């Protein structure tokens, strides 16, 4: 499947799964949802990939780092979704990928994109439907973790050329999140009706999107990946409107659009700046060279370790 379709499929899965989880909040709370989602996803990924335990120190460091970022991202994002509409939470979360695209561009003119994104956040949080400040801050924390995951996940995808690294990362994220879920939900985590919905959410929001995104990160530089995920705030807002009846005022819709457009602009500048310097992160460039039918990443002089 082409890398852009992988990214878009991941976006739809993440937002659709987030919409499904809202029905579980009254029963197990956000931490319970995260614990169930990651535990079930870890079981599925381990069954599929069978990662084993014999890895070098670099692989373990990358997997544990990615898993920690996944756990904190999920906990903060679902706390945000419980407090503010899905589109608002996703827009705040998207500041992370936007920052990756912006930093990668290295052009003074991209301050305009930063200003557009800032204006979008102001429009979202300061006009129209009142939004909970704690929810917006949780969304911003989720964005920081998501930006970090893009960088760490890129290295993990280059270092482990299949889904075994992802399986390790999700297992660690599940272990980190499980105590919080037990404290918040207790025995309600084992309710059959809760487990059924959580299993659907785990496949839709974790197994498929993270598998798609890990494969896309293996083929794409972080800046281009950020461009392709620019639809996520709008997709979240639309899913929230259609399936959850979550309404935003017109200025807040403009804020969502501003953040998405700013990320597209910064990402395009990042890609153009990479071409100018001869390091555009194409498949055969500094991000690793893909060779062979299994898509393994190869290359000398530390190519696999470059972001």
Q: What is the number of other CB atoms lying within 10 angstroms of the CB of residue 203?
A: 17
Instruction: Calculate the alpha carbon distances from 226 to 122, 177, 261 in Å.
Output: 21, 26, 11
Percent of the chain, pLDDT > 90? Answer: 36
Number of residues that this document lists for the chain? 307
Q: How confident is the model at residue 135 (pLDDT cuts 50, 70, 90)?
A: very high
Quick: pLDDT tens for 160-194.
Answer: 988 899 999 999 999 999 999 999 999 999 999 99
* Prediction pTM value: 0.75
Which segment of 55-64, 111-120, 270-279 scores lowest on mean pLDDT? 270-279
Quick: pLDDT tens for 53-82.
Answer: 889 999 999 999 999 999 999 999 999 999
């Amino acid at each position: 499947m082409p890398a852009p379709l992988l990214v878009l499929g991941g976006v739809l899965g993440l937002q659709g799964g987030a919409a499904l989880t809202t029905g579980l909040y009254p029963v197990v709370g956000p931490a319970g949802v995260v614990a169930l989602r990651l535990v079930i996803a870890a079981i599925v990924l381990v069954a599929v990939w069978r990662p084993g335990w014999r890895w070098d120190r670099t692989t373990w460091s990358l997997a544990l780092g990615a898993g920690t970022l996944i756990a904190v991202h999920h906990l903060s994002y679902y706390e945000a979704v419980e407090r503010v509409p899905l589109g608002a939470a996703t827009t705040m979360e998207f500041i992370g990928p936007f920052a990756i695209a912006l930093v990668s561009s290295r052009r003074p003119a991209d301050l305009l994109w930063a200003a557009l994104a800032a204006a979008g956040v102001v429009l979202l949080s300061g006009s129209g439907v009142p939004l909970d400040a704690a929810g917006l801050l949780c969304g911003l924390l989720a964005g920081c973790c998501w930006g970090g995951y893009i960088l760490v996940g890129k290295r993990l995808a280059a270092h482990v050329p299949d889904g075994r690294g992802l399986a390790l990362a999700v297992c660690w994220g599940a272990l980190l999140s499980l105590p919080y879920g037990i404290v918040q939900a207790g025995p309600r985590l084992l309710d059959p009706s809760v487990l059924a919905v959580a299993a659907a959410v785990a496949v839709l929001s974790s197994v498929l999107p993270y598998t798609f995104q890990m494969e896309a990160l293996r083929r794409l530089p972080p800046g281009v990946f950020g461009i392709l995920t620019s639809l996520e705030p709008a997709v979240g807002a639309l899913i929230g409107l259609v399936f959850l009846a979550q309404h935003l005022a017109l200025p807040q819709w403009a804020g969502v659009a501003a953040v998405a457009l700013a990320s597209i602009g910064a990402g395009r500048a990042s890609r153009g700046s990479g071409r100018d310097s001869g390091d555009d992160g194409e498949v055969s460039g500094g991000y690793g060279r893909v060779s062979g039918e299994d898509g393994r990443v190869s290359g000398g002089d530390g190519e696999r370790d470059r972001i």
